Amino acid sequence: MFTFGVHYQKFTAVNMPNPAAFSGVTAMTDQLTAVINPYLLDDRAPVSEEVTALDLPVVGQIPEELAGRWLRNGPNPANEVADVAKHHWFSGDGMVHGVRLRGGKAEWYRNRWVRSDVITDKLGEPAIGGPAYGGRTSSGPNTNVGGFAGKTWAMVEGGGTPCELTYELDTVARNAFEDTLPAAFSAHPKYDPATGELHAMTYCWPDLVDHIQYVVVGSDGLVNHTVDIPVADMPMIHDISITERFAVVFDLGVTISFDAMAKGINVPFGWNEGRQTRLGLLPRWSDSSEDVIWCDVDPCAIFHPLNAYDDADGNVVIDFCRYERMFDHDQLGPFGDARPTLDRWTINPDTATVNEERVDDRAHEFPRHDPRVGLKQHRYGYTSEVRPGEKLLHGATFKTDYQTGEITTHDYGPGRGGAEPVFVPKADSRAEDDGWLITLVHDLNESGGYGAELCILDANDITAPEVARITLPGHVPVGFHGNWVPDTSVSPS
Ligand SMILES: [Fe+2]
């Protein structure tokens, strides 16, 4: 029997604006969005309890070869939000959800807040240890979780120190890669299977305001290389692409915003109209920002590249999800200004020019690919349909064949949508696409509540019915990112 108390926080519209006070459409949109704050409602509503559930019900058959954990991190405010109108989706306390699979069974589900002073105070626990960049102990990493160097890590951008977690998702301590990290890290380091290194592009207040920092973490879990790159305006650089030759800087349209600061928004970034947006190619062998090749691109914002590679003609190819603008009228989250499309940049390093192409007009996000491809050319990509404004943010899972141009779809059925599709290679297989897709499925039931399942698809044919549907004990808020961490990567405790 599950015991999973879902208690949606009660949010009240505070600082309710008087519509008559606003004559401009922009101001009205800003204020109404702030009051409603869709990032705290419906399938994004936080939960209030940590739960352990054993032997989860399964429809279908979990592949017996899957031995490890599916993990996912996301924002889940622990206390009632003081000012809904100024609460940015990215600022919620981190909560990691996990499901352990072994022998064809789903042995457990756990959700745990990543410990910070706010969480340990709330739960009456001693504070965790470990260095905190800038003294930031009041928030835990809320954006990604994965395995590296034999440990489980929760990660965030902007200056939050990574946290090490146990196998069962309890927080061990903050860990700045054994004190080798100079300043900030990222939620989206990229793994190079040829070297075993993680590569990240980082920013933070106050040390990395007039420059960003490229950080490389060796397979031993220690930072072994950094490059400071002067960049104006403190852009929100959420992710990085790497190829065998280059690390790519996304110096785009979202930057620190004095307007958002003046409004008191707790993640004060905004759309920087008229800013020259550009991509930077830093040769991976370089230790100098003077070697960066800057290439102008049309104004846009990006959170996530799907993959990048050096093509046979010497170009850098990046497939990614593109936003026409972001944090302009909607400064509380990413979806109010534009829907993300599936696009491709082809960058010529010799001419510093970029060819920009639209791959698909539908709204794609949370892109993933077969990790065995490494930094080589991929054929397939997997994305989640996002539906801003709907009660279910996520919709179908898309599979894009970049060779044929065909896009196939997995529809989870009425009232159901799948989040980030995590690719897990099948045992004893080598071919790209020969794997499983694990997705968290949000289920809007007839009573208006939300259930959740962990679904497994066969990536070879995502139009087929789910291979397995694992019933989770209750609502899991829509969140951000996670990974499959096999037991061969991080050992069970
Ligand atoms: Fe992300």
Q: How far is the CA of 436 from the centre of ligand 1 (A)?
A: 21
What are 288-335's pLDDT values in tens digits? 999 999 999 999 999 999 999 999 999 999 999 999 999 999 999 999
Q: How far is the CA of 60 from the centre of ligand 1 (A)?
A: 31
Q: How far is the CA of 144 from the centre of ligand 1 (A)?
A: 7
For residues 143 and 23, the model is more confident at 143
Q: How far is the CA of 376 from the centre of ligand 1 (A)?
A: 22
Q: How far is the CA of 359 from the centre of ligand 1 (A)?
A: 20
Q: What is the mean pLDDT of residues 404-426?
A: 97
In a domain, 301, yes or no: yes
Q: How far is the CA of 304 from the centre of ligand 1 (A)?
A: 6
In a domain, 10, yes or no: no
What are 356-394's pLDDT values in tens digits? 999 999 999 999 999 999 999 999 999 999 998 899 999
Cross-strand partners of 354 = 347
Q: How far is the CA of 239 from the centre of ligand 1 (A)?
A: 7
Q: Report whether 158 contacts 152 (CB < 8 A).
A: no
- Please say if the pLDDT value at position 11 is more than 60: no
What are 155-208's pLDDT values in tens digits? 999 999 999 999 999 999 999 999 999 999 999 999 999 999 999 999 998 888
Sort 127 into a burial class: Cβ within 10 Å, 0-12 / 13-18 / 19+: exposed
What are 112-161's pLDDT values in tens digits? 999 999 999 999 999 999 999 999 999 999 999 999 999 999 999 999 99
Q: How far is the CA of 87 from the centre of ligand 1 (A)?
A: 18
- Please say if the pLDDT value at position 230 is more than 60: yes
Q: How far is the CA of 230 from the centre of ligand 1 (A)?
A: 23
Q: Report whether 441 contacts 418 (CB < 8 A).
A: yes
Question: How many Å apart are CA 489 and CA 65, to the nearest integer?
Answer: 15
Q: Are strands 353-360 and 407-410 parallel, antiparallel or unpaired?
A: unpaired
Q: What is the DSSP letter of 402?
A: T
- Please say if the pLDDT value at position 33 is more than 60: no
Q: How many domains does the chain have?
A: 1
What are 39-82's pLDDT values in tens digits? 898 899 999 999 999 999 999 999 999 999 999 999 999 999 98
Question: How many Å apart are CA 389 and CA 338, to the nearest integer?
Answer: 11
Q: What is the mean pLDDT of residues 100-114?
A: 98
Q: How far is the CA of 79 from the centre of ligand 1 (A)?
A: 24
- Please say if the pLDDT value at position 214 is more than 90: yes
Q: How far is the CA of 227 from the centre of ligand 1 (A)?
A: 22
Q: How far is the CA of 59 from the centre of ligand 1 (A)?
A: 30
Q: How far is the CA of 369 from the centre of ligand 1 (A)?
A: 15
Q: How far is the CA of 408 from the centre of ligand 1 (A)?
A: 23
Question: How many Å apart are CA 57 and CA 470, to the nearest integer?
Answer: 6
Q: How far is the CA of 480 from the centre of ligand 1 (A)?
A: 6
DSSP 3-state assignment of 321? strand
pLDDT band at 36 (very low <50, low <70, confident <90, very high): confident
In a domain, 427, yes or no: yes
Q: How far is the CA of 190 from the centre of ligand 1 (A)?
A: 12
In sequence order, the 6+-apart residues with CB closer than 8 A to the CB of 458 are 436, 437, 464, 467
Surrounding residues of ion ligand 1, Cβ less than 5 A: 303
Q: How far is the CA of 299 from the centre of ligand 1 (A)?
A: 20
Q: How far is the CA of 126 from the centre of ligand 1 (A)?
A: 30
Q: Report whether 346 contacts 357 (CB < 8 A).
A: yes
For residues 336 and 493, the model is more confident at 336
Q: How far is the CA of 180 from the centre of ligand 1 (A)?
A: 24
For residues 34 and 48, the model is more confident at 48
- Please say if the pLDDT value at position 2 is more than 50: no
% of the chain with per-residue pLDDT over 70: 93
Q: How far is the CA of 98 from the centre of ligand 1 (A)?
A: 18
Neighbours of 206 (CB within 10 A): 10
In a domain, 4, yes or no: no
Q: How far is the CA of 314 from the centre of ligand 1 (A)?
A: 28
Question: Could you tell me the residue range of the domain that residue 240 belongs to?
Answer: 19-486
Residue 9: the pLDDT is: 28
In a domain, 7, yes or no: no
In a domain, 5, yes or no: no
- Please say if the pLDDT value at position 3 is more than 90: no
Here the CATH number for the domain that contains residue 199 is 2.120.10.30
Residue 17: the pLDDT is: 27
For 183-233, the DSSP string reads S---S--EEETTTTEEEEEEEETTTEEEEEEEEEE-TTSSEEEEEEEE-TT
In a domain, 108, yes or no: yes
pTM of the model: 0.92
Q: What is the mean pLDDT of residues 244-266?
A: 95
In a domain, 298, yes or no: yes
Encode 384-422: b = buried (16+ Cβ within 10 Å), e = exposed.
bbbbbeebbbbbbbbbbebeeeebeebebeeebbbbbbb
In sequence order, the 6+-apart residues with CB closer than 8 A to the CB of 184 are 133, 157, 158, 159, 160, 202, 203, 204, 207, 208, 213
Length of the chain (residues): 493
Q: How far is the CA of 365 from the centre of ligand 1 (A)?
A: 9
Q: How far is the CA of 23 from the centre of ligand 1 (A)?
A: 35
Average pLDDT score, the chain: 91
> Closest Cα partner for 417 from 446, 448, 447, 450?
450
Q: How far is the CA of 429 from the centre of ligand 1 (A)?
A: 29
Q: How far is the CA of 467 from the centre of ligand 1 (A)?
A: 27
Q: How far is the CA of 479 from the centre of ligand 1 (A)?
A: 10
pLDDT band at 35 (very low <50, low <70, confident <90, very high): low
Q: How far is the CA of 481 from the centre of ligand 1 (A)?
A: 6
